[in-house]
Structure 1
């Protein structure tokens, strides 16, 4: 990861992710999936299906969602929530683009790291 400023962290370039594709990044406390839609929107969510922990970055990206490769649970990329009759949600991270570089919110990363540490201590 490349530090851009104290609030946003560079994690790659949009050109590194094919349309309707995904990439994994390791954040120490969690694995995060970066997803690119057909409209070149980028979303970042926890790369772990809430159902059985499947790797969402290996799923199919479609219509602003990703379908888990293990049991077909559909997760909304913007909300992180399961769609349809399924229940569950994954952590989402705010994303911005600067000159083709994907940047994640440092505040969101810190919050997720604090939750992971608290869960580990419990």
Structure 2
């Protein structure tokens, strides 16, 4: 089960900035580049869990505020010379409204 959620308008996020969206599966960082492109990734650096939403956006990447690991916002891959990746969240922008695709938390019963 999954769903799209609205997270605001492009202009709600400053250029080269980010906003955090809370979800049942953890925080999601939504970024705006200098060219007004919008990206979303899990708000956790694969190196030591730093909050990527507090990092510096440059081009289509963000630098983790803890140890300066650079994460590609399109792929979630850590850029050389470091290695790793974080999960990319699907984004749709329509008439300036940002929506992200968030997987619903699984439910089940025992017995």
* TM-score (ref. length: structure 2): 0.88
**Which structure's residues are more often helix, by fraction?**
1
Greater RCO, CA 8 A, separation 6+: 2
Q: Greater strand percent: which structure?
A: 2
Runs of 4+ aligned structure 1 residues displaced above 3 Å come to none
Partners in 1 of 2:12 and 2:100 — Cα distance?
15
Counterpart of 1:15 in 2: which secondary structure?
helix
Paired position in structure 2 for 1:103: 99
3-state SS of 1:57 partner = helix
Unpaired runs of at least 5, structure 1: 1-5, 118-122
The offset of 1:98, in angstroms, is 1.3
| 1:29 match: secondary structure | coil
- 2:78 equivalent in structure 1: 82
